Amino acid sequence: MKTRRIGATDLVVSQIGFGCGGNAGLMVRASAIEQDRVIGRALDSGITYFDNAPDYGDGLGEENLGRALQALGARPVINTKVEIRAENLGDIADHVVRSVEDSLKRLRVDAIEIVQIHNGPVTARADLQGRDYETLRLEDYFRPGGAIDGVRRIRESGKTRYAGFISRGSDAVEAGELLKTGLFHLVNVPFTLLNPTAGHPKPDKLAVEKDYGNVIGVAQAAGAGTAIFSPLAGGVLTDAVISGQQTHALARPKDFKALESKGAVPLARRFQALAAKHGMSLVQLAYGFILSNPGASTVVGGFSAIEQLDNTIAAAAELESLPKEIMGEIHQIWATG
């Protein structure tokens, strides 16, 4: 397993990371025995980075990871997050501290390497409603008692060494403002063959739901790293979904009609053909594309079963970049829409 440094920090992590989210389902719906088996295989294969959040299974993702790592006697690099909802807007900094303290208890550790704000930064938007935490106004990051104050407190207390946030599209300018503070060292962002805008200018004929404005480059210029999540576009960049098979029983099901109508599956089929032309799997092409960007610190996979983990490691663990010829053909596919 090859490793990469997270920006200008001293953290060196496996270039394939382990995601504990609910989409894959393993860490929130599988048995403890199966979780231990898959995590043990990941550790034995050289994976040293685990991504988590309180929102994953309403704390179950953290609880199960903490239990498994304790049972296995392992202590990899751990990242977890803080979700800021409408009910927290009156005391954001205090909520950040409380949330991290609760996460540490579930993870069974005294401190962790990285804590991220799970809300993406925006200049202005309507107030948060209900359980939503997708975005947070820059004002609520910077104001007294805001998210930045909370981040400073958890770093000064030693509960975390580094901090970060999530990019959710159309927020590269706001991300740059947060990175200027010097407090944030890791940005989570999707970056895929289907939507490359986190690391490439948007191709004119490529339809994407969100433009991520080269936020990978923005982070890299600020000495920060990026963790790439959903590298297979929620499973669309897999042979199984392209052929119309449902995802693993633990994973969230796919709406094939919606994927077809949005053009995701037809575009994925073109990349599948490109991978086959060069004797590669689609997963290998997808991961190789991401790892070709030096600003990508780690690619966080979501694994429902040990077979998926093994296949990903076999395909991508030793990749560093794709040949220029293949990258050129990828650009040609984007150029034709």
Residue 147 CA, distance from chain mean position: 20
pLDDT of residue 263: 84
Q: Which tens digits make up the pLDDT trace of 154-188?
A: 999 999 999 999 999 999 999 999 999 999 999 99
Q: Taking the domains of the chain in order of start, what are their residue ranges?
A: 3-233+297-320
pTM of the entire predicted model: 0.96
pLDDT of residue 211: 97
Q: Is 160 helix (H, G, I), strand (E, B) or coil?
A: strand
Residue 10 CA, distance from chain mean position: 20
Choose between 260 and 43: higher pLDDT.
43
What is the dihedral angle through the alpha carbons of 315, 33, 229, 294, rounded to the nearest 10 degrees? Answer: -50
Q: Is 140 helix (H, G, I), strand (E, B) or coil?
A: helix
Q: What does the pLDDT average to over 16-44?
A: 95
pLDDT of residue 261: 64
Q: Which tens digits make up the pLDDT trace of 59-78?
A: 999 999 999 999 999 999 99
Q: How far apart are CA 77 and CA 167, in angstroms?
A: 21
Q: Which tens digits make up the pLDDT trace of 134-159?
A: 999 999 999 999 999 999 999 999 99
pLDDT of residue 258: 73
Q: How far apart are CA 51 and CA 79, in angstroms?
A: 5
297 pLDDT more than 80:
yes
126 pLDDT more than 90:
no
Q: What percent of the chain has pLDDT over 90?
A: 88
Q: Which tens digits make up the pLDDT trace of 284-296?
A: 999 999 999 999 9
To which CATH superfamily is domain 3-233+297-320 assigned?
A: NADP-dependent oxidoreductase domain (3.20.20.100)
Full DSSP string of 212-242: -TTHHHHHHHTT-EEEEE-TTTTTTTSHHHH
- Residue 82 near residue 96 (C-beta atoms within 8 A): yes
